Amino acid sequence: MPKEMYLDHLKSFSNIELQVQQSMHGKIRNELGVFRPDLANKKFSYTLGDDAQVKILNQDALLSEGDLEYLTKRLNNYRGFRDSVQAHAKMAMALVDHDDKAFGGKYKLDLLNIQDTLDYGKLILLKPEKMHEAFVRQIIENGEKREEPLVDITV
């Protein structure tokens, strides 16, 4: 399969995975309204932690430790949500590694730095056609730069 076709498929599948998360996140929010109305209107986001678990981002520092623990457990145990975040993260890492047009080989995305780079909550608020563009922007704005090679490999 040619590289461009591979990248197109990867972009499509990563976008579908974000839409899956968008749907599940909406259901989680609805359930919070029933079971934890105190959390339903609080602002929070999520990413993938270096332990491959969904990590809650406490953007406005309004969540208590108990709130963070509850939300972390809830999102990680929700039917397939963590799997979806992990699947997208793997695709995101592959895109950063291979999409030279978008990233130019300048960025490094892995399990150790993804939590400081991607805010999934911001991505899933968007319409599907805007998600990939926002993903690229988050990598460029927050991503860890690759170290320059010590040896010039161009011929």
- Is residue 152 in some structural domain? no
- Determine the Cα–Cα distance for residues 87 and 134; give it in Å rounded to an integer: 18
| Domain residue limits at 52 | 3-145
Amino acid 149: pLDDT: 61
- Length of the chain as a residue count: 155
Q: Collapsing DSSP states into helix, strand and coil, what is residue 77?
A: helix
Structural domain contains residue 76: yes
Does residue 155 lie in a domain region?
no
The answer to whether residue 53 sits within a structural domain is: yes
Q: What is the pLDDT of residues 45-87, one digit of tens each?
A: 999 999 999 999 998 899 999 999 999 999 999 999 999 999 9
Q: Is residue 73 part of a domain?
A: yes
Lookup: tokens for 122: 């911001």
Question: Rounded to 5 degrees, what are φ and ψ at 66?
Answer: -65, -40
Q: Does the residue 91 lie in any domain? A: yes
- The C-alpha atoms of residue 74 and residue 86 are separated, in whole angstroms, by 16
pLDDT (tens, 9 = 90+) of the chain, 155 residues, equals 799 999 999 999 999 999 999 999 999 999 999 999 999 889 999 999 999 999 999 988 999 999 999 999 999 999 999 999 999 999 999 999 999 999 999 999 999 999 999 999 999 999 999 999 999 999 999 999 998 765 666 66
Count of domains for the chain: 1
Residue 31 lies in a domain: yes
With respect to residue 154, please indicate whether it lies within any of the assigned structural domains: no
